[in-house]
């Protein structure tokens, strides 16, 4: 019982926060944050307790509980939780980052008219995210999957008075839906072939399935992850989702919701066939490399971070594809920490820019554009320091967590190539290439924002550091981006520690020999480490050259690259939006217009109105017939008939008694005759 309470508190604490703040938030006003912080704080404590329990009792796992929700006929849907090491790690991550974002938002969102509703939406987001993490069956995960999409929609479109947020929210939700279609079909294929929605049940039951069908089902479920984790080709919503408040971007679109796709893929990893996994790896690689290239030419801070997120998610998916599932989860956790830190730092910068522009009464300049920043390191020291730490982490510099996790992934790709040869060389190439480009553009961001001379002196004068409430989460998260945290070993090159041990091994049931994979990763480890060190250094050096020392003319280089059109490709985001526009949106709208034309001009005016016309005609003729036939002929006719008959019958009342007597006699005689006959 205590255990059930502990686990379900992850669900009902944020839900309670949501319900109270949605209905009675107006009364709390600025105290809504206190209530939300309190409840989420309780949840964090709970997650820490659970995590410590995990560390100390490695054999008490997994915790499972499920109860039947409803059943119709043969179909029975049950809800329940499945908690093992990975779940407790993820719960810890979500709770911690959720708590820090709540704390940060108390200052960031101060003065917003819908303050309480913001915290309510954060509450329902955490509720849904925990639901995904705790889910023991694919159906339950799907339910919370949709809820997370809803929360994301509510939060992206939070400032709906502006033009862009509602459109961005729609785009996010719809793109997610496209992925969810595949996911649902995949779940159903699995259900009808294996007979269970429960993940463990499916893992145990797929042995009997046709491998081709299993590949298809696996890929379809993976499609949900493509949508949710913004992989190519459904990545288009994540850059637009930056219209939401920055803490929301930190929580949802960097650390947790987009990681849900990776988590789900991790859970279904056991039954993804090698063919499916190769496709997963390709998708991940394309995403990782492509997004990195696009990030080079972005000028908005949050846009750079958005594409960086897409790129890192590509890494995680690629890791799962090549079989390095431990590396994927490792990178997910480290990425959550440093990406959340990066977003919150950028939020701090944007917050300071906002205040400065407000003081200058300037409403036109974009506070998020890096071309308006520069040289902020003296004015915002804490933000600068924490952002630098996180950037080092994401660039894959030793002593920082990102190095370890990225290294593990790249080792995985090398070993995959070693096993399969041929075209798979592209995977490590993409991985290492993206690593270099990542280092390059992240340092570009740092240099453009914090170093050099300020681009706009007026703005620079009014900048000041953010309050402690916002700085403390930054400090906590940057601290958690150090390598030391995950290995408890001061040796920067030692990749395995308590964390990797905790993740453990996953048994694969669809044809992948995990021993081979792990052996390969182990062997490729060193090579990967050297190459990634080289690549990261190169990236940082080039970036320093370009942006710090300003030794190279950026214009000339971009024109050089543009000879083969590469610069434009990056600048225009590979024209993907334009392609979708022509291939998908325009034909769809044309169809809509055509359908509308058919519906209005043909159906509505000709067919439906025709009924109206027919009705009018019918009513007219009905009126005529009613009057002339019914009224005059039948009704008046009846009265005429009655008059006629009565005029004839009147003659019997002659007053002549003998006639009456005759009548009596006649009736008597006839009656007697008739009765006799009968």
Residues of the shown chain interacting with another protein in the complex, contacts defined by CB under 8 A: 654-659, 661-662, 665-666, 669, 672-673
Find the shortest distance in angstroms from Cβ 665 to another protein.
5
Which of 250, 256, 441, 248 minimizes the C-alpha distance to 345?
250
> Would you say 629 or 661 has its CB closer to another protein?
661
Find the shortest distance in angstroms from Cβ 655 to another protein.
3
Instruction: Report the distance separating Cα 492 and Cα 362, nearest Å.
Output: 47
Task: Give residues with Cβ within 8 angstroms of 460, minimum separation 6.
Answer: 356, 374, 375, 376, 379, 454
> Would you say 582 or 659 has its CB closer to another protein?
659
Which of 85, 86, 80, 60 minimizes the C-alpha distance to 201?
80
> Would you say 618 or 661 has its CB closer to another protein?
661
Cβ distance 251 to 125 under 8 Å?
A: yes
Find the shortest distance in angstroms from Cβ 652 to another protein.
13
Which of 178, 343, 317 minimizes the C-alpha distance to 251?
343
What is 178-220 written as a DSSP string? HHHHHHHHHHHHHHHHHS--BHHHHHHHGGGS-HHHHHHHHHH
Q: How far is CA 291 from CA 85, 239, 286, 366, in A?
A: 32, 11, 8, 23
> Would you say 422 or 655 has its CB closer to another protein?
655
Instruction: Report the distance separating Cα 570 and Cα 562, nearest Å.
Output: 10
> Would you say 646 or 658 has its CB closer to another protein?
658
> Would you say 557 or 656 has its CB closer to another protein?
656
Strands 63-72 and 75-83: antiparallel
Find the shortest distance in angstroms from Cβ 663 to another protein.
9
- Angle formed at CA 254 by CA 269 and CA 42, multiple of 5 degrees: 90
Cβ distance 245 to 108 under 8 Å?
A: yes
> Would you say 552 or 667 has its CB closer to another protein?
667
Find the shortest distance in angstroms from Cβ 644 to another protein.
22
Burial track 170-183 (b if 16+ CB lie within 10 A, e otherwise): ebbbebbeebbebb
Find the shortest distance in angstroms from Cβ 650 to another protein.
14
- Angle formed at CA 336 by CA 324 and CA 528, multiple of 5 degrees: 35
Find the shortest distance in angstroms from Cβ 668 to another protein.
8
Find the shortest distance in angstroms from Cβ 653 to another protein.
10
Which of 34, 198, 43 minimizes the C-alpha distance to 130?
43
> Would you say 639 or 658 has its CB closer to another protein?
658
Hey, which residues does 8 pair with through a beta bridge? none
> Would you say 24 or 660 has its CB closer to another protein?
660
Cβ distance 278 to 218 under 8 Å?
A: no
Instruction: Report the distance separating Cα 367 and Cα 290, nearest Å.
Output: 27
Find the shortest distance in angstroms from Cβ 669 to another protein.
5
> Would you say 614 or 672 has its CB closer to another protein?
672
Cβ distance 254 to 343 under 8 Å?
A: yes
Find the shortest distance in angstroms from Cβ 675 to another protein.
11
Please classify residue 610 by burial: count the beta carbons closer than 10 Å to its beta carbon, then call 0-12 exposed, 13-18 middle and 19+ buried: exposed
In terms of phi and psi (left: phi > 0; alpha: psi -120 to 50; beta: otherwise), the region of 565 is: left
> Would you say 632 or 654 has its CB closer to another protein?
654
Find the shortest distance in angstroms from Cβ 662 to another protein.
5
């Amino acid at each position: 019982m205590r255990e059930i309470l502990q686990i379900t508190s992850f669900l009902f604490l944020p839900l309670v926060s949501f319900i109270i703040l949605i209905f009675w938030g107006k009364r709390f006003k600025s105290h809504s944050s206190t209530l939300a912080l309190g409840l989420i704080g309780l949840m964090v404590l709970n997650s820490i307790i659970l995590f410590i329990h995990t560390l100390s009792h490695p054999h008490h796992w997994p915790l499972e509980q499920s109860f039947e929700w409803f059943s119709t006929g043969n179909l029975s849907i049950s809800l329940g939780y499945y908690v093992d090491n990975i779940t407790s790690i993820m719960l810890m991550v979500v709770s911690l980052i959720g708590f820090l974002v709540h704390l940060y938002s108390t200052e960031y969102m101060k003065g917003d008219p819908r303050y309480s509703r913001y915290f309510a939406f954060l509450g329902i987001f955490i509720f849904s995210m925990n639901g995904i993490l705790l889910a023991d069956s694919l159906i339950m995960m799907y339910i919370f999957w949709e809820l997370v999409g809803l929360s994301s929609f509510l939060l992206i479109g939070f400032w709906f008075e502006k033009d862009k947020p509602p459109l961005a929210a729609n785009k996010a939700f719809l793109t997610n839906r496209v992925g969810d279609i595949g996911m649902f079909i995949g779940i159903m294929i699995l259900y009808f072939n294996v007979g269970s929605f429960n993940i463990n049940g499916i893992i145990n039951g797929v042995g009997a399935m046709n491998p081709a069908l299993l590949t298809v089902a696996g890929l379809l479920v993976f499609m949900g992850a493509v949508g949710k984790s913004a992989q190519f080709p459904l990545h288009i919503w994540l850059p637009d989702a930056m219209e939401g408040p920055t803490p929301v971007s930190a929580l949802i679109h960097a650390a947790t919701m987009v990681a849900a796709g990776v988590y789900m893929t991790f859970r279904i990893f056991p039954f993804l066939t090698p063919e499916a996994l190769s496709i997963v790896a390709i998708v991940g690689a394309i995403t990782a490399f492509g997004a990195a290239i696009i990030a080079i030419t972005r000028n908005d801070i949050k846009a750079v971070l958005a594409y960086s997120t897409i790129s890192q998610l590509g890494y995680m998916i690629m890791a799962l594809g090549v079989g390095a599932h431990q590396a994927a989860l490792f990178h997910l956790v480290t990425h959550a920490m440093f990406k959340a830190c990066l977003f919150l730092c950028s939020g701090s910068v944007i917050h300071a820019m906002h205040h400065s522009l407000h003081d200058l009464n300037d409403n036109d300049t974009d506070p998020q554009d890096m071309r308006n920043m520069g040289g902020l390191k003296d004015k915002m020291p804490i933000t600068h320091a924490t952002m630098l730490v996180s950037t080092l982490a994401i660039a894959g510099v030793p002593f920082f967590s990102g190095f370890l996790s990225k290294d593990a992934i790249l080792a995985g790709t090398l070993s995959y190539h070693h096993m399969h040869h041929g075209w798979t060389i592209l995977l490590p190439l993409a991985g290492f290439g993206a690593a270099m480009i990542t280092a390059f553009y992240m340092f570009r961001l740092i240099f453009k924002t914090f170093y050099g001379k300020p681009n706009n002196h007026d703005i620079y004068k009014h900048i000041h550091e953010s309050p402690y409430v916002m700085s403390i989460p930054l400090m906590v998260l940057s601290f958690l981006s150090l390598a030391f945290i995950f290995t408890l070993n001061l040796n920067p090159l030692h990749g395995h520690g308590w964390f990797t041990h905790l993740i453990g091994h996953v048994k694969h049931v669809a044809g992948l020999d995990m021993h081979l994979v792990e052996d390969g990763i182990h062997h490729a480890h060193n090579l990967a480490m050297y190459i990634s060190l080289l690549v990261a250094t190169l990236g940082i050096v080039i970036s320093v050259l370009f942006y710090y020392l300003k030794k190279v003319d950026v214009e000339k280089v971009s024109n050089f690259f543009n000879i083969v059109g590469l610069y434009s490709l990056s600048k225009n985001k590979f024209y993907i939006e334009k392609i979708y526009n022509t291939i998908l949106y325009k034909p769809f709208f044309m169809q809509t217009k055509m359908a509308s034309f058919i519906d209005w001009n043909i159906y509505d005016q000709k067919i439906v109105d025709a009924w109206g016309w027919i009705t009018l005609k019918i009513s007219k003729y009905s009126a005529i017939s009613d009057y002339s036939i019914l009224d005059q002929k039948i009704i008046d006719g009846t009265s005429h008939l009655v008059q006629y008959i009565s005029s004839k019958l009147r003659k019997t009342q002659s007053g002549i008694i003998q006639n009456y007597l005759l009548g009596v006699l006649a009736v008597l005689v006839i009656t007697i005759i008739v009765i006799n006959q009968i």
